[in-house]
Structure 1
Amino acid sequence: MEFCAFFRRPVWCFWLIVVFLGLFVTQGSFASETLNLTILHMNDPHAHYVPKKEKESAMGGFGKALTVMNQVRAANAEQGKETLTFMAGDLLTGTPFSAVFKGSLGVELMNVMGFTAMAVGNHEFDYGQENLMKNLLPKMGFPLLSANIRTSKGDRVFEASITKKFPKSDTRVIIFGLTTKDTPVTTHPRNVEGLIFEDPIKAAKEIVKDTADSDLVIALTHIGVDQDVKLAEAVPEIDVIVGGHTHTNLPQPLKVGNTLIVQADAYSEYVGKLDLEVSGGNVVKYHGELMALGPDIKEDPQITAIIEEHQKVFGPEMRRPIGKAEIFLDGSKRSVRSDRTTNLGSILSYLMAEYAKTDVALINGGSIRESINEGPITLMDIYTVLPFSNIVVKMTLSGEELRSVLQRSVELEPGSGGKLQIHGIDYSVGNGAVKIASVGGKPFKPSSEYSVAISDFLAAGGDGYAVFKENGRNRFNYEKQVSELFIDFVQTGQPITAAGIEKLK
């Protein structure tokens, strides 16, 4: 009775109401202003949908990725957190799955995996604009974003940005896409005719003009980590950059100013996870990691079933051994995109020179996508190594023009797909300058004319080798693909040995 009488006094009732309303307002403000968000991200799968076999273990693949994604999503749902899932470009090109289905299988899998959005990568154009715009885009259950690709008339080709809102937060999440402006030289130039790839930073500045300080701004990019850093410095309004293109393994987010940059390696080996606590559009707390898709992670059965159904198209012929390697054939990215010609590069460039009867053969390291292990070799192995439909082209260059080609290769950064694998040239590099000693076993003369075998990609000026397109003379296009030359070589009945490769040089 006395307790109740105490609270019936007007002054105490007043303060009780004030305290109650204060708690209510505080709790309501917290619910509306704080956003707990997880970003799941992948980049550059290059059609590596199935796990890669490492001895007795299976690593990576979309089936394992979805298992991990669903575990995170379920945990977030229980904790009241939101989840967004991004692909930062280059779904296509790298395995027979891409060569056969031209991206349609990847899109079907991504739809099942529940991606929020995808950035346009340069390799999305590898099978032409019509395949991308008429075959793949209508099937996508997610937006394909790029703010810096326009037609020659100035019209945007893709959606530039999307906005996401969540019931328990007032924060708008603005997501926009950017694509490398080098696309015209990293896919076959004919694939992007009529398209203009604007400066990504310029495009980003235009996008952020329409954002507010209270927005969370996310750039979904396929421009490479170095360019992501420059983007963060030039456009500080961006809170998070989810990147791709350079296949960079960032175990922890890279912070530039107040901008977080993440990237998850390549080839479906990891799923990136970035946990954010956002208040008033600002990231006040974060934690990032790469989740390795190791042998202990089970594959999602729905993904496995879809892939197995598509694998029936290949048939047993693709898996039948057609030859044998008695040594490891090195097609690793680190090796073929360096200034050293590997044993696999030696074979391929020799076969091109032998077929076209040329003094020299050059093949860009970016066209070689995998190694071959010691043991039986199947057609599946070969099309995984050489997924592009590159035909052999013969042309003539002067000695000085040939030297300029090698000079460009040497000056490219390690890891660039334009690094050349070479047959027929003995050269050295001193103080950054290329000096050629001999070509085809004969002393080099800058004024002499030399016959060169290259791919049609390089012949069109791919990887920035304009000299082939502008200066190549006596050009002849063969119908034979580089992959077909390799198949013929493998199935001769003779095993590939170190001694045999040495004789090709």
Structure 2
Amino acid sequence: MLNEDNHETISIFHTNDFHSHFANWPKIKRYILSGKKKERAIGNTVLTFDIGDFMDRFEPLTEATNGKAGIQFMNELDYDGVTIGNNEGLTNSKQQLDQLYEDANFDVLLANLKDPYTNALPKWANEAKLIVTPQHTRILVFGMTAPYSSTYPKLGWEVKDVYQTTERLLAKYEDQYDICILLSHLGLPTDRELAKQFPAINLILGGHTHHLLMNGELVNQTMLAAAQKWGNYVGHVTLTLANHQITEQNVSVQEVAALPSEPADLKAINKTFSMGTALLASQKVAQLDHSVKTQLLGSSEMVDLSLAALQSKAHTDSAIINTGLFLKDLPAGVIDENQIHDVLPHAMQVMKVTLDGYNLWRLIQEMEKNRNFLLRYPQKGMGFRGKVFGELHYRGIEYQKSTGEVWWHGEPLDPNRNYEVAMLDHYLYIPFFPTIQICGKNDIYFDENLRQVFARYLSEQFPIK
């Protein structure tokens, strides 16, 4: 809105870390569309952004469509720009990510990811976007995602330094903008540091660390805003300008649970879930002649099969896994992808870790020290989509509790020999087993996730007749 005193109002709606929680979507859609309509009716410029991790493969329809179903939801809001999160970038293969935004009606803004083979941005991304309001205020918007520098190259991407990228873009677009907005799937600590180092950024819309800034956070001249996770909140920022410069910033969030429901909401939610489960159920995997049980404490056939599946994938003589991964039993009969997804909804890959004998001994000491603590530890994030971490199980490795010794297939470890152990990349990212990161040679298999590895092993052991 612009009046005779050259004042203008820009209204910004933003979402982040939705993680495919489609049960919240009907309310979010209704709130944003009605909000945009009201703001435009009084003459305000309206912008809408998403800050990444919109998809999460824990949800059946997302898994069945490799995230593309979520793009159809996003299209309903006419986003002015989105960036990607690690769920888009790291739980999709390069081909899947290249195809993810084919039908998007919005711009993907991603300045810190390149294809090393072309030395260019992905074909579906733009490094930045210049938006000019009806009152001729120039707004520079750019996006960046969490720079997992050890992981993206293994998927065929090159991730760039966040600070160097920011410096380059601000220099490139100098004198071309009045306001600068960053879509940051980088996390709150990085957002705060960027605000300190780059005062030219007026507004950082954040995500990744699932933080909630109820009324924003001002760092020097830069306002930070974020709306937690899972569609629990929608963010709203109002910028008041005079002569194309910000004079006031108001930040708020709307709790989605407090919004009114409509009778059609539940039908839409159920339809979304049913579509996903039906698509997955149509893909048959194996035929079990008996049920396969799991349990949090003690051995089970589910654990035994999974350890063997990890060994088969990584071509190792040993494996480690935790029982909290397995959320359900498998019944006798023909098993489909939906049942496998119910058992293992996690975003994880198999990893082969190579350690010498001394450091393998040290890793097992770390695991044994943390064993009781982890048993009912409510693990969150890092690819885990269950409830508690559970009990650690080894194959090919024995821990002698009375002496503290570690044995390999019945023989004491040789400190100077190298050993290969199959486990999950999850163990690399959680803080309980530092030996993996410090001393391990870690090879992650990105061609299949854990559930695909398990499903393929089942299909080989129990083929459909």
TM-score (norm 1): 0.65
**1:361 maps onto 2:361 in alignment:** no
Q: In 1, distance between residues paired with 2:259 and 2:327?
A: 25
Task: Give matches, 1:375-414, under 5 Å.
Answer: 383=341, 386-387=344-345, 397-402=355-360
**1:200 maps onto 2:162 in alignment:** yes
**1:28 maps onto 2:28 in alignment:** no
Count matched residues: 409
Which of 117, 120, 138 matches 2:84? 120
The aligned residue for residue 199 of structure 2 is 236
Q: In 1, distance between residues paired with 2:43 and 2:347?
A: 48
The aligned residue for residue 13 of structure 1 is none
1:219 Cα deviation from its structure 2 partner:
0.3
Task: Give matches, 1:402-481, under 5 Å.
Answer: 402=360, 417=382, 422-424=392-394, 447=415, 452-455=421-424, 457=425, 465=437, 469=441, 481=452
Q: CA RMSD in A?
A: 5.0
**1:132 maps onto 2:132 in alignment:** no
Q: Residue 359 of structure 2 contacts residue 439 of structure 2 at CA under 8 Å; is this kept in 1?
A: yes
Q: Residue 362 of structure 1 contacts residue 452 of structure 1 at CA under 8 Å; is this kept in 2?
A: no
The aligned residue for residue 111 of structure 2 is 147
**1:80 maps onto 2:47 in alignment:** no
1:170 Cα deviation from its structure 2 partner:
3.1
Output the amino acid matched with 1:230.
Answer: E
Secondary structure (helix, strand or coil) at the match of 2:140 reads strand
TM-score (norm 2): 0.70
1:217 Cα deviation from its structure 2 partner:
0.6
* Change in CA separation of 1:27 and 1:220 when aligned onto 2, cut-off 3 Å: closer
* Structure with bigger gyration radius: 1
* Change in CA separation of 1:437 and 1:36 when aligned onto 2, cut-off 3 Å: farther
Which of 62, 71, 74 matches 2:34? 71
Output the amino acid matched with 1:196.
Answer: E
Deviation string, structure 1 residues 36-58 (Cα, Å, up to 9, x no partner)? 1222111122222x22xxxxxxx
Secondary structure (helix, strand or coil) at the match of 2:252 reads strand
* Change in CA separation of 1:346 and 1:174 when aligned onto 2, cut-off 3 Å: farther
Q: In 2, distance between residues paired with 1:254 and 1:385?
A: 40
Q: In 1, distance between residues paired with 2:70 and 2:165?
A: 28
Q: Is there any run of 5+ residues in structure 2 with no aligned partner, and where?
A: 283-287, 312-316, 329-335, 371-378, 431-435, 460-465
Secondary structure (helix, strand or coil) at the match of 1:28 reads coil
Q: In 1, distance between residues paired with 2:82 and 2:299?
A: 33
Secondary structure (helix, strand or coil) at the match of 1:91 reads coil
Task: Give matches, 1:47-62, under 5 Å.
Answer: 47-48=20-21, 50-51=22-23, 60=24, 62=25
- Identity across aligned pairs (percent)? 21
The aligned residue for residue 254 of structure 1 is 217
Q: In 2, distance between residues paired with 1:91 and 1:212?
A: 33
1:218 Cα deviation from its structure 2 partner:
0.2
Q: In 2, distance between residues paired with 1:344 and 1:102?
A: 35
Task: Give matches, 1:163-202, under 5 Å.
Answer: 163-167=130-134, 169-182=135-148, 184-185=150-151, 190-191=154-155, 193=156, 195-202=157-164
Output the amino acid matched with 1:198.
Answer: K
**1:291 maps onto 2:254 in alignment:** yes
Q: In 1, distance between residues paired with 2:10 and 2:166?
A: 23
Deviation string, structure 1 residues 332-351 (Cα, Å, up to 9, x no partner)? xxxxxxxxxx8799998676
Relative to structure 2, which stretch is displaced further, 242-251 or 445-454? 445-454
Q: Residue 360 of structure 1 contacts residue 440 of structure 1 at CA under 8 Å; is this kept in 2?
A: no
Secondary structure (helix, strand or coil) at the match of 1:145 reads coil
* Change in CA separation of 1:387 and 1:441 when aligned onto 2, cut-off 3 Å: same
* Change in CA separation of 1:82 and 1:316 when aligned onto 2, cut-off 3 Å: closer
Q: In 2, distance between residues paired with 1:206 and 1:345?
A: 55
Q: Residue 352 of structure 1 contacts residue 392 of structure 1 at CA under 8 Å; is this kept in 2?
A: no
Q: Is there any run of 5+ residues in structure 1 with no aligned partner, and where?
A: 1-25, 52-59, 330-341, 373-377, 428-434, 489-505
Deviation string, structure 1 residues 250-271 (Cα, Å, up to 9, x no partner)? 2231211111112222222221
1:123 Cα deviation from its structure 2 partner:
2.2
Q: In 2, distance between residues paired with 1:227 and 1:132?
A: 25
Which of 224, 233, 240 matches 2:187? 224
* Change in CA separation of 1:418 and 1:103 when aligned onto 2, cut-off 3 Å: closer
Q: In 2, distance between residues paired with 1:115 and 1:300?
A: 26
* Change in CA separation of 1:151 and 1:442 when aligned onto 2, cut-off 3 Å: same
